[in-house]
């Protein structure tokens, strides 16, 4: 009751806002979402403390960009976020990391996870919800898709003190579309997440199935960590 519906506002959100991630840092919720308009597709941000009043911070990352997940702790005094630019020629649909002194202005962009040829994540990768702090590092759940637009979920691990360093990544997916409601729908063969709840070792992933249904799946964080393989640089 009294909680407003969030919708696109202004020129740069004219076609809407979507795929919102929420990061809770100190006393503030940071909402990052895809802002869509004829100007392009970028990452918009609003913040709130009470889900009743929201402060707008404009487009924090310019086009073409999606899948922005802010870390829920500052690291060495800086905010960190994963994001996903798309390139018109060189480059691809890769996961990048950026830093910010205030959560609003971002820089030090670095490419950290690329698509992998001939694997399930050969065409595009993008972060899910806020990375999860574990004893071994920051664990990110991400979506990957192949040339046939089959979307699965995988995971990678970043250094706790310097998340630009990717330590490990799952070789195969940790979750893939297999139920009827995941295989058939508005956009079939898709599991896609941008929210979760952590309760000890139990990770409840909220995910979209076939771009049509909202589902939940419970996974063990330790079992995900056990599936990671070291990344060699």
- CA 133, 182, 215, 128 dihedral sign is positive
The HSE-up count of residue 222 (CA atoms within 13 Å, CB side) is 4
Q: Measuring CA to CA, which residue among 176, 167, 175, 145 is closest to residue 228? A: 167
How many residues would you count in the chain?
Answer: 233
Beta-carbon count within 10 A of 222 CB: 12
Q: Measuring CA to CA, which residue among 171, 172, 214 is closest to residue 192? A: 214
Q: Counting contacts by CB under 8 A, is residue 16 touching a copy of itself? A: no
Q: Which two tokens stand for residue 204?
A: 């409840």
Among 28, 91, 161, 211, binds a copy of itself (CB under 8 A): 91
CB of 206 to a copy of itself, least distance (A): 27
Among 26, 102, 118, 147, binds a copy of itself (CB under 8 A): 102
- In the three-class reduction of DSSP (H, G, I as helix; E, B as strand; rest coil), residue 221 is classed as helix
Among 104, 167, 198, 231, binds a copy of itself (CB under 8 A): 104
Residue number, 4 or 10, with CB nearest to a copy of itself? 10
Q: Counting contacts by CB under 8 A, is residue 99 touching a copy of itself? A: yes
Among 17, 22, 37, 158, binds a copy of itself (CB under 8 A): 37
Strand 151-158 and strand 137-145: pairing?
A: antiparallel
* 170 to 209: interface string for a copy of itself, x by CB under 8 A: ----------------------------------------
Cβ proximity of 32 and 17 under 8 Å: no
Residue number, 27 or 89, with CB nearest to a copy of itself? 89
Residue number, 4 or 91, with CB nearest to a copy of itself? 91
Cβ proximity of 216 and 204 under 8 Å: yes
Q: Report CA Rg, the chain.
A: 17
Question: Cα 195 to the chain's mean position, in Å?
Answer: 9
Among 48, 100, 115, 122, binds a copy of itself (CB under 8 A): 100
Site for a copy of itself in 44-63 (CB under 8 A): 57-63
Judged by CB under 8 A, the stretch of 80-88, 134-142, 167-175, 219-227 that binds a copy of itself is: 80-88
Interacting residue ranges for a copy of itself, rule: CB under 8 A = 11-12, 15, 36-42, 57-65, 83, 85-92, 94, 96, 98-102, 104-111, 114
């Amino acid at each position: 009751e009294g909680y407003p519906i969030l919708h696109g506002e202004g020129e740069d959100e004219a076609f809407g806002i979507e795929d919102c991630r929420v990061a809770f840092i100190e006393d503030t919720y940071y909402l990052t979402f895809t802002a869509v308009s004829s100007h392009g597709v970028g990452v918009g941000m609003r913040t709130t403390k009470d889900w009743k009043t929201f402060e707008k911070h404009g487009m924090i990352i310019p086009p073409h960009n999606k899948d922005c997940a802010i870390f829920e702790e500052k690291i060495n005094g800086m905010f960190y976020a994963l994001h996903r630019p798309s390139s018109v020629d060189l480059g691809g649909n890769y996961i990048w990391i950026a830093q910010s002194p205030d959560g609003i202005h971002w820089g030090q962009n670095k490419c950290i996870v690329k698509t992998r040829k001939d694997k399930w994540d050969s065409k595009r990768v993008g972060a899910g919800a806020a990375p999860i702090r574990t004893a071994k590092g920051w664990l990110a759940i991400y979506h990957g898709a192949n040339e046939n637009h089959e979307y699965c979920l995988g995971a990678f691990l970043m250094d706790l003190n310097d998340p630009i360093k990717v330590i490990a990544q799952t070789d195969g997916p940790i979750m893939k579309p297999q139920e009827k409601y995941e295989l058939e729908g508005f956009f079939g063969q898709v599991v896609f997440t941008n929210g979760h709840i952590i309760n000890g070792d139990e990770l409840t992933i909220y995910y979209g199935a076939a771009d049509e249904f909202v589902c939940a799946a419970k996974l063990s964080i330790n079992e995900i960590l056990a599936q990671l393989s070291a990344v060699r640089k």
